């Protein structure tokens, strides 16, 4: 009985071990998804490159064993990847080892940042090595002409690979996951804090991981090539999680982009508003300055008296005083002078604007007085462009017989 208990206990223990192993293998904890979320921040092309890397790098915390192609049926390529498939078929039976596999897109200098379509020949060159891209959260083609940042060399780990991504910072569980350490930024305080990541040497790491496949003379079997075109084996839950995270990230990114666009638009409008306000303020100031300068250019009392006296000395009121009720024949005239006091244009009646009858007599008398008095000197320093005089001729004022 005790032996039975021992056997039973051993079996239960082994069962529990197996079960525990199965759980670890099939149901990774949620924080793992967040770890994967860090991976999805890599663009599609980067994922392609990573897909061609040894699976153990991408495969999670446990060291990846040799690929077991027989165990996994690669997911069917997407329809839009058919051309790649055909190209792969072209090299399906390689006569020589695929040494010529060009991985330059992965090593392109950082200066190369031009938008490149994934349909472009330059991108098609490494197809032989490229694996089908991971299922994208959004494969409607909108990203096809986006900036392929993955064509640039992988930024240093310290650099925020996801600096433009709206993805949330990994939760604390992900940060402490030891298996994530080699894969993600060593930063445990969040991807947005670049300081700890400076110590990482991402380019070297990426190069070391990819380099083996780029080794010359590496024997590549046809089957191997085929298998290499599909994603390496990954846990299903990992892929699903990655897909979900990718979708969420995409949505977040789009929302963020829209928010950013809206913010930029608002900022632009605000800038225009501010600029318009400044222009308006400047114009108003200029106008006020003009008006102020015009109004400030005035004459002193003695200067006004001098001008008035000069005109009055030539103002003959004889014909005005002949009129019955001559008191009412007050005329207001305007005369424009240049800087030398010369009359410019006509002497214009202001009030009444069209003098007739006795008002006409009064206006003619005023005009004669002005023209006789011309040039009507003004202080040149204050009136370099002359002035317009509005003159009120009141026959009652100063009436007398000379």
Q: Considering the complex, what minimum distance in angstroms separates the CB of residue 317 from another protein?
A: 4
13 vs 390, which CB is nearer to another protein?
390
**Calpha distance 107→49 (Å, rounded):** 11
Say if residues 359 and 351 touch (Cβ distance below 8 Å).
Answer: no
Residue showing tokens 């596999």 = 101
Say if residues 252 and 166 touch (Cβ distance below 8 Å).
Answer: yes
Binding segment for another protein (CB under 8 A), chosen from 11-19, 41-49, 75-83, 300-308, is 300-308
Which segments within 100-235 are labelled E, that is strand? Answer: none
401 lies in the binding site for another protein (CB under 8 A) = yes
Q: How many residues bind another protein (CB under 8 A)?
A: 65
183 vs 338, which CB is nearer to another protein?
338
Binding segment for another protein (CB under 8 A), chosen from 119-127, 137-145, 188-196, 320-328, is 320-328
321 lies in the binding site for another protein (CB under 8 A) = yes
Buried/exposed 338-368: b ≥16 CB within 10 Å, e otherwise: eeebebeeebebeebeebeebbebbbebbbe
9 vs 357, which CB is nearer to another protein?
357
Residue 244 CA, chain-centre distance (Å), reads: 28
Compose the 350-389 pattern: x for residues touching another protein by CB under 8 A, - for all others.
Answer: -------xx-xx--x-xxxx-xx----------x-xxxxx
313 lies in the binding site for another protein (CB under 8 A) = yes
251 vs 286, which CB is nearer to another protein?
286
327 lies in the binding site for another protein (CB under 8 A) = no
Three-class SS string for 86-115?
HHHHHCCCCCCCHHHCCCHHHHCCCCCCCC
Query: Peptide bond before 375: cis, by omega within 30 degrees of 0?
Result: yes
How many Cα atoms sit within 13 Å of 256 on the Cβ side? Answer: 12
Q: Which spans of this chain sit near another protein (rule: CB under 8 A)?
A: 269, 272-273, 276-277, 279-280, 283-284, 286-287, 290, 293-295, 297-299, 304, 307-309, 311-319, 321-324, 336-337, 357-358, 360-361, 364, 366-369, 371-372, 383, 385-395, 397-398, 400-402
């Amino acid at each position: 009985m005790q032996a039975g208990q021992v056997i039973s206990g051993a079996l239960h223990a082994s069962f529990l071990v197996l079960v525990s192993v199965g759980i670890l293998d099939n149901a990774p904890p949620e924080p793992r998804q967040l770890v994967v979320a860090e991976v999805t921040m890599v663009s599609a092309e980067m994922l392609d490159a990573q897909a061609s890397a040894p699976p153990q790098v991408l495969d999670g915390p446990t060291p990846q064993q040799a690929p077991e192609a027989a165990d996994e049926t690669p997911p069917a390529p997407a329809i839009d990847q058919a051309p790649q498939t055909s190209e792969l078929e072209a090299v399906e039976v390689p006569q020589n080892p695929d040494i010529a596999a060009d991985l330059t897109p992965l090593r392109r200098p950082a200066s190369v940042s031009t938008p490149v379509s994934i349909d472009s020949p330059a991108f098609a060159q490494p197809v032989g090595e490229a694996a089908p891209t991971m299922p994208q959260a959004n494969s409607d083609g909108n990203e096809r002409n986006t900036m392929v940042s993955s064509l640039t060399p992988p930024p240093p780990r310290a650099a925020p690979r996801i600096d433009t991504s709206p993805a949330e910072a990994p939760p604390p569980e992900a940060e402490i996951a030891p298996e994530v350490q080699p894969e993600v930024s060593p930063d445990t305080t969040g991807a947005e804090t670049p300081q700890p990541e400076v110590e990482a040497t991402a380019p070297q790491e990426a190069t070391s991981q990819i380099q083996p496949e780029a080794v010359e003379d590496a024997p590549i079997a046809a089957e191997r090539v085929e298998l290499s075109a599909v994603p390496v084996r990954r846990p299903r839950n990992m892929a699903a999680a990655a897909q979900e995270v990718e979708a969420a990230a995409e949505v977040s990114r789009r929302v963020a982009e829209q928010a950013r666009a809206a913010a930029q638009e608002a900022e632009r409008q605000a800038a225009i508003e501010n600029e318009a306000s400044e222009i308006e303020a400047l114009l108003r100031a200029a106008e006020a300055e003009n008006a102020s300068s015009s109004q400030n250019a005035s004459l002193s009392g003695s200067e006004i008296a001098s001008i008035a006296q000069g005109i009055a000395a030539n103002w003959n009121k004889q014909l005005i005083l002949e009129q019955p009720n001559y008191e009412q024949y007050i005329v207001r005239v305007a005369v424009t002078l240049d800087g030398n006091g010369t009359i410019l244009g006509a002497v214009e009646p202001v009030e009444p604007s069209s003098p007739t009858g006795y008002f006409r007599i009064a206006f003619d008398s005023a005009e004669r007085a002005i023209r006789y008095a011309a040039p009507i000197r003004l202080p040149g320093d204050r009136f370099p462009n002359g002035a317009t005089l509005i003159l009120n001729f009141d026959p009652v004022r100063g009436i007398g017989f000379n």
